[in-house]
Amino acid sequence: MTGNLGLGSLQAEIEALFDAKLSSYSEDARQVFQAFVQQLNEGKIRAAEPDETQPTGWRVNTWVKKGILLGFRIGKLTHLPGEGSRQFFDKDTYPLKTFSVSDGVRIVPGGSSIRDGCYVAPGTTCMPPMYINTGSYVDSGTMVDSHALVGSCAQIGRNCHLSAAVQIGGVLEPVGALPVIIEDEVLVGGNCGVYEGTVVGRGAVLGSGTVLNRSTPVYDLVRETVHRASADLPLIIPEEAVVVAGSRRITSGVGKQWKLSVYTPIIVKYRDAGTEAKIQLEDLLR
């Protein structure tokens, strides 16, 4: 019965179960949750999706985030065997996601984990060891490189490269908060961190070691402006911006006296032919 739930009915069931905050859950509730997870796995529902009417270009689907949280309430701690000698102990509602060759996803041997309840599109490459958390959406042609993390509910576009040791924060709670968004054709350099609902616009390039969050302004040398998060909006990196890790001097107090500087990301240019020639090398790895 629950397997035939329409999207509207599924949303209503999930929100009712979430709001009820029960001490225990029936088998019917588990079946509703499993129908929900199947929709996440197939990419038919998302924690956030493009919406041109929104200032960020994205809309949060709060009911989807409620459903993900509901899974933690319903689940019971259990033994989840992995490949070989690996084993895990987690909620039984969130086992490892299963794949087959027909899914068209390259998962290179070496210790990667992908949690159930996320969408990983055909053509994605997963280099070991990496991790994709539940609620995430990773679109086709993207490479998730070694030691990279895609946090819960993060949305990753097409033909992106998350380089080695990249950390993409998720933002599962609060349910109304926008998760981290990496739009299409973005190159995220090694050891970068993107957190707190930051939106990285299509075609942007983040140089190695760049960290983006709500509290750090980004200085745009090309357009002579400063990009900041506000009370209502996250930090938004413009399309095709090339961002590098920089610093700015402290201009008052003992910081000035001691000649100290603080970290700040800097937009040094926007993508051009030279940038394109460098990132074309990424295609050889796919």
The pLDDT of residue 276: 67
Q: Residues 91, 110: contact at Cβ < 8 Å? A: no
Q: Which residues contact 115 (CB under 8 A, 6 or more apart)?
A: 94, 95, 96, 97, 131, 132, 133, 134
Q: What is the pLDDT of residues 53-108, one digit of tens each?
A: 999 999 999 999 999 999 999 999 999 887 667 788 999 999 999 999 999 999 99
Q: In this predicted structure, which of 112-116, 144-148, 259-263, 281-285 has the lowest mean pLDDT? A: 281-285
Tokens of 145: 């490189």
All domains in the chain, ordered by first residue: 2-74 (1.10.166.10), 97-285 (2.160.10.10)
- SS3 at position 54: coil
Q: In the numeric block, which tokens belong to residue 258?
A: 């001691």
Q: Which two tokens stand for residue 60?
A: 């949060």
**Per-residue pLDDT tens digits for 175-206:** 999 999 999 999 999 999 999 999 999 999 99
Percent of the chain surpassing pLDDT 90: 87
The pTM for the full model equals 0.93
Please report, as a single letter, which amino acid is at residue 284.
L
Is residue 67 a contact partner of residue 18, using CB atoms and an 8 Å limit? yes
Radius of gyration for the chain, computed over Cα atoms and rounded to the nearest angstrom: 20
Q: Residues 44-60: what's their mean pLDDT?
A: 98
Q: Are strands 193-194 and 211-212 parallel, antiparallel or unpaired?
A: parallel
Instruction: Count the Cβ atoms, other than its own, within 10 Å of residue 88.
Output: 14
As a whole number, mean pLDDT of residues 213-238 equals 97
Cα 11 to Cα 9: distance, rounded to the nearest angstrom: 5
Quick one: pLDDT at residue 275?
Answer: 64
Residue 9: its pLDDT value, please?
A: 94
Cβ neighbour number for residue 55 with a 10 Å cutoff = 12
Which tops the pLDDT comparison, 185 or 1?
Answer: 185
Q: How far is CA 277 from CA 10, 13, 90, 141, 283, in A?
A: 47, 50, 44, 18, 11
Helix, strand or coil, per DSSP, at residue 75: coil
pLDDT at 31 over 50: yes
Using CA atoms, how far apart are residues 243 and 40, in angstroms rounded to an integer? 32
* Confidence at 6, pLDDT banded by 50, 70, 90: confident
In the prediction, which pLDDT does 4 show? Answer: 60
Mean pLDDT, residues 47-51: 98
Torsion angle, alpha carbons of 166, 178, 133, 4, to 10: -150
